[in-house]
Amino acid sequence: MDSTINMIKQIRSQLEEDSRMETHERVKRKREQSPEINNKRPHQKTERARERRRRKRERRRQRLLYEKKEEQRWKRPRSSDRDEAEEGESAWKRPHMDEERCDPLDISSYNFHHELGNGSFGNVMLASLPNRKKPVAIKILKKENIKLKERYETEVKVMKLAWKCPFLCNIHAAFQTQVQLSVILQ
């Protein structure tokens, strides 16, 4: 019984001493009491920290290389580079158009290939612009033949509303001259 009482007194005194100690002192004391358990952790932590730092350095290096490459890509030629260029050439490349741009809203800029059919409002022709490969259908209506103007306007409005529908012809443009009305379809 005396041994039990002594043990309780010893534990009580240790608890009182621990309560007076700072937290870091308690941790230090526990490490001293059992060094084989706690020695692994700091080593593992330092290895992980080293690996994180190494990966961070590598990412930074990769980012700097990328930024340097982009900077060189967009870098303008220096004045000395321009002086070294031959007289007839320019160090600066200027954009140029090989072909003339055609006005898609001018009926005379289209090349007509053949007639696709006669609709209730007029003729439908297969045509294409000179600088584009994809052909279009052009519905051409003579103004003097239009008796039902509202039906034609309704058709154009419906096509404009359904321009995203994959099952209907998409309308590219609608315009008119003094003699005729034209609707450019996909």
Residue numbers belonging to the annotated binding site for ATP? 139
CA distances from 36 to 30, 49, 77, 129 (A): 11, 22, 65, 84
The residues, any chain, with a CB within 8 Å of residue 129's CB and separated by 6 or more, are 102, 104, 109, 110, 111, 136
3-class secondary structure, 102: coil
Beta-carbon-side half-sphere exposure of residue 90 (alpha carbons within 13 Å): 5
Distance of alpha carbon 175 from alpha carbon 186, whole angstroms: 15
Annotated binding-site residue numbers:
139
Consecutive H or E run containing 117: strand 111-118
Q: 42 phi and psi, to 5 degrees?
A: -60, -35
